[in-house]
Every structure is written in structure tokens, then in C-alpha cells.
Structure 1
Amino acid sequence: MFEKYPFCREPYSVTVCRIEPENNVHVILEAFSEMLDETLVFVGNWEKSEYGRSLKEKFSACKNILLLDPIYEPHTVNWLRSNARVYIHGHSAGGTNPSLVETMNLSILILAFDCVYNRATTEEKCLYWKIAEDLQNLMKNKSGKFAEIAREMGEAGKRLYSWERIARQYNALYQ
């Protein structure tokens, strides 16, 4: 995979989502456009809307931001996530987001948009942001505590979202 994605040899943060305003794409890009020493790999459907096209045009010149087109192979997406130092989760609407759950099980640091859904999904065990400045402060204030938070995320993911637990819950529903 390193041949196809050579930028992954260096530390990077990653985001994977539909390019929609409620996923706070503009906030994430704005934050990283001002942190030139931090690399962001952002996977999304940039050409699907005017919102995506305008963001791609505005931020594609940033040397530390790599805007990748959608990747539909789960193995590749998981590889990009699992090799990242930080996962940035911007979803602010909906419920339990599959992308967040999948990343929790990788035991990497997650910086999630601060909303009730993300807090419930993560049992309030990750770090949260609302605006670009919050995200920048979290990225700048890295500490040894990050590894502990990532470990706790992984444990919560495996405990809350295992196939065994979910199957038991469905089974109980049907009985």
C-alpha cells in the first residue's frame, strides 16, 4: 500500500466521510490549512456537490492537505485509518456513525465533533471539538495522554460494538 500512498510513511491524520456541511468538512480543512506541520489525508466525494467542489478548489493548494477521491475498498480505507496517528470525525447529525465505530476498534486517537451522538457512541472517551480553533488546540497539545485515550477508545469499541454483543442484542429483541 505504501507504493500507492507514499505519504503514509510519515505521520498523518485522516478523515473519511461524505462531503456534506453537517460533516464539518469546512471546519476540518480550515483548521489544518493553518497547521502546516500537520498532514491531513481527507477521503471523500469532492465532485458530488458544489460544496465539495468549492472546498476542493480552495484547499487543494495546501501542501499539507491531501484530498483523495472516494475509496470504496474497505481494506484500503481501513489501512489508511489504521496507519494514521489521529482520526478526525466531523459528523454532527444522525446517530451511531459506522465510520466512528470502525475507527474506535483500531485503537487510534479520535478527535470527534462535539455532539450528543458522538459522545454517546464513544462513551465520552475521546476528545471533542466544535470549531477550527478547538481542533487546532487538540492537535497542538499532544501528550502521552493521547496513547491512553486511544487505548480506551479501542477497548470501548471492542466492548460496545462487537459482533457477539450486537448479535445477543438482536437475539434478545426477537425473543
Structure 2
Amino acid sequence: MLGTRGVPAAHGGFETAVENIGLRLVDRGWRVVVYCQDDDPAAVVRTDTWKGIERVHVPSRYPGAKGTLWFDTLSVRHAARYRDVCVTFGYNSAMLTALLRARGIPNLINMDGIEWKRARWTGSQKVFLYGQERAACHLGSHLIADHPEIKRHLATRVSEEKIKTIAYGAPTVVDAPVEPLLRRGLSPGDFLTLVARPVPENSILEVLRAFSSRSWGRKLVVLGDYDRADPYQRAVLDAASDEVVFLGAIYDTDTVEALRFHSVAYLHGHQVGGTNPSLVEALGCGNPVIAHDNRYNRWVAGDAALYFSDENGVVAALDRVLSDPAVAPRLAAEARARHAAEFTWERITDQYETLIRAFMPARRRRTVVAVRPSVASGAVLRARATSTDGSIRAGSRR
């Protein structure tokens, strides 16, 4: 797998996916190799093993985007030395994977969302991302869409037969400690949660204005870093009432799960993208959801959410969830059912494994996978096979 910063996950959704899928593939007998970004400019390429996953640590050498491009370039060149199936997460540096195509190496690309349409990018950045998306569509052996709407978009670029819909996963959380809440002055059931990048397309300002328009007798816990130097983030901070609590960015999985599990409901204002990890994780925790009304969120949350299109809609949904004792339990049950049907990591791993096998040479009986971070936001999956007598037939790394 290529395209992420590596495992264990500490940075985002793609890393979490690589970790969860990779560990499960190891348990199923695959050899998994993950490329990991080393930010030490003096580092050299080295390998080690983490929970059965082989890791190739590649130095980024430079700070920022230049370092990421350097890392991606070295990772793809390293992967191209072998005949293993690659799974690349993201397309932000898709042109680099031309080397894999030139050498006939299968490369399955998870296309993420429609990045070039996002409001946070400048005009030149949008042009660059648009070009990378087009390159990925034609350089990839097969495309993975994490949402049916993303598949429909990609089908305007390539044949629909070249695209497989595989969503994002999340754990099923049936219990969580209360200590992380108590340390932050919270109690189970006395707050709602909002977890999102603080950008306009995630409707955070509209949600906070609506929540702060009256007293609810509950707190709204907001996760994420907010800086007054940023005009939008400053507006969000200024709009918040005394019932809004900003906890900053929290990367500890157990703490985030505890906050979700013990919250009354989850507020999700994302307007664009495919299957959003934060929304799926809320379903896995059994959270009633209040979500922006769009085709992306409706497919993911289904009947587990109340939907809004403006600030008045947020107020109406909050009123129903917090005032009607029958609403929250119904939504929570729907969240559990929706997650179990579509978004468990076991189901997601099943789908990746089936697709990987389809691109392996027919003579291979048993495979071993290697996962590596690739181009800007991707991850490569290398497969090696053994024959029925256990001898190595193809794809040896050494």
C-alpha cells in the first residue's frame, strides 16, 4: 500500500485504513509491507516490523510538500523494483505511478474525494489536483471509490467496470471509559460532539451559530485546532456561546472514542467528499447524527441522522434530539445497524482482499501483502505468492 505516512496511524484517515486493513491481512496470512515517512533529513532507508507488518522507512529529507514529494518518489521507485500488487491511497502525486504502469505492476488506486473541487485550495492547486486525478484514472490498473457518488464522478473519466466502490471502516465501540471525559470536566450524556477540519465547507460556523442561539443545557465539544490568525477560525471562536467547549486536536484513539461513545449526538456539517471517516466512526459508536443534507452524508448515515441545510435546520434537529426522548434511541439503533451492514473493518478488508486477488497472476495460490505510503496521499500493497508446497514463486523482495 502506498501514499500514507505509515503505521501506526497518527495523522489521518488513510493511515487508519492502512493500519486496520494491513493488520487484518496479516492475520489472514498475507505479507504486508507499509512505506513510512521518516522526517529525519539525515535518515537512510531502513526496514523493521510492527505487529507483523513490514515497514520500509523512507526519509523525506525536506520540509513540507517538497519533502512529501521526495518521499513519494523514493517509495514508488522502491516499489517498482518488485512484481507485487500495489494499492495506492490517494492521487495527489499520481503521475509518479507511471513507473509502476510502465513496468506492468498492478496498481489499485483509492481515489479519495474530489479534491480539486474543495474550496480551501487556490486556483493553481486546483489545477494541479485536477491533473493528478486525470492521471490516476488512466495510470491505475483499477480505481477504488469510497462512495457511490465518487464512483459516478470517476465514471465520467473511465469505464465504470474499472471502478470498485469500497467505503471507509470504523471499529464497533460498545463500551468506553469515562476517565477521559472527567479529566476534561465532562460527564456522560451532558454533551454533543463535533469533529472536523475547521474550514468553511464543513459548516462549522453555521452549526456553532445555531447551537449558540439558545441555551440547551448541554455542551458542544469541538475537536480540532483553532487559531485566531485565521479569519474563518476566528469567526467560529467568536460565534461560540459559553456552552461550546474547544478541546483542541486529540489524536489518542481511546480518548476520541470515549468522547464519541458518551456523547448525546454527533454534529456533522461536511458538504463535500465521499465517505467521511468521522461520520463512519460516529456510527460505529452508536451516535445519533445531525448531518448536513447532501447525497454524500445521506448514503453514509441513512436513517441514523436528522438532516439540515441551514442554521434553522440545525436548531430544529437539535430540538428534536434533545427534547423528544424517543428520537435519540431510534437514531442510535439505526447508527448501529448501518455501521454493521456497511462499515466494519472486516467487511472493508474482505473487499480489498477480493480486489487484490483479482489482480494477482492466476498461478499464485497464497499471497503475502506489502503496504507502503506512496504519492502524496496513497498506500502501496505488494503481494507475493507461495506455491502449495510453501516455496516462493514470485515477488520476493530480497
TM-score, length of structure 2 as denominator length: 0.42
Residues 59, 65 of structure 1: 8 Å contact kept:
no
Structure 1 residues 50, 150: CA separation in 2 closer, same or farther (over 3 Å shift)?
Answer: same
Residues 17, 44 of structure 1: 8 Å contact kept:
yes
Q: Secondary structure at the match of 2:201?
A: helix
Q: Quick one: which of 43, 53, 56 aligns to 2:234?
A: 53
- The within-5 A match list for 1:23-172 is 23-37=202-216, 38-47=218-227, 49-56=230-237, 58-60=238-240, 62-142=241-321, 143=324, 144-172=326-354
Question: Following the alignment from structure 1 to structure 2, what is the Cα–Cα distance between the partners of residues 147 and 28?
Answer: 22
Question: Following the alignment from structure 2 to structure 1, what is the Cα–Cα distance between the partners of residues 182 and 267?
Answer: 24
Residues 289, 304 of structure 2: 8 Å contact kept:
no
- Report the alpha carbon displacement of residue 99 of structure 1 after superposing the two structures with TM: 0.4
Unaligned regions of 5+ residues in structure 2, if any?
1-179, 359-398
Unaligned regions of 5+ residues in structure 1, if any?
none
Further displaced range: 92-101 or 68-77:
68-77
Deviation per CA, 1:37-63: give whole Å up to 9, x if none.
24211112212732113321x135x21
Which structure's residues are more often strand, by fraction? 2
Residues 293, 309 of structure 2: 8 Å contact kept:
yes
Q: Secondary structure at the match of 2:250?
A: coil
Structure 1 residues 168, 9: CA separation in 2 closer, same or farther (over 3 Å shift)?
Answer: closer
Residues 105, 155 of structure 1: 8 Å contact kept:
no
Question: Following the alignment from structure 2 to structure 1, what is the Cα–Cα distance between the partners of residues 291 and 333?
Answer: 16
Structure 1 residues 9, 172: CA separation in 2 closer, same or farther (over 3 Å shift)?
Answer: closer
One-letter code of the match for 1:158? A
- Report the alpha carbon displacement of residue 167 of structure 1 after superposing the two structures with TM: 1.5
Deviation per CA, 1:6-50: give whole Å up to 9, x if none.
133551111011100000011110011112124211112212732
CA RMSD of the aligned region, Å? Answer: 1.7
Question: Following the alignment from structure 1 to structure 2, what is the Cα–Cα distance between the partners of residues 95 and 59?
Answer: 28
- Report the alpha carbon displacement of residue 148 of structure 1 after superposing the two structures with TM: 1.3
Question: Following the alignment from structure 2 to structure 1, what is the Cα–Cα distance between the partners of residues 296 and 188?
Answer: 33
> Identity rate of aligned residues, in percent?
29
Q: Secondary structure at the match of 2:302?
A: coil
1:15 match: 194
Which structure's residues are more often helix, by fraction? 1
One-letter code of the match for 1:138? A
One-letter code of the match for 1:111? I
Q: Secondary structure at the match of 1:120?
A: helix
Structure 1 residues 106, 116: CA separation in 2 closer, same or farther (over 3 Å shift)?
Answer: same
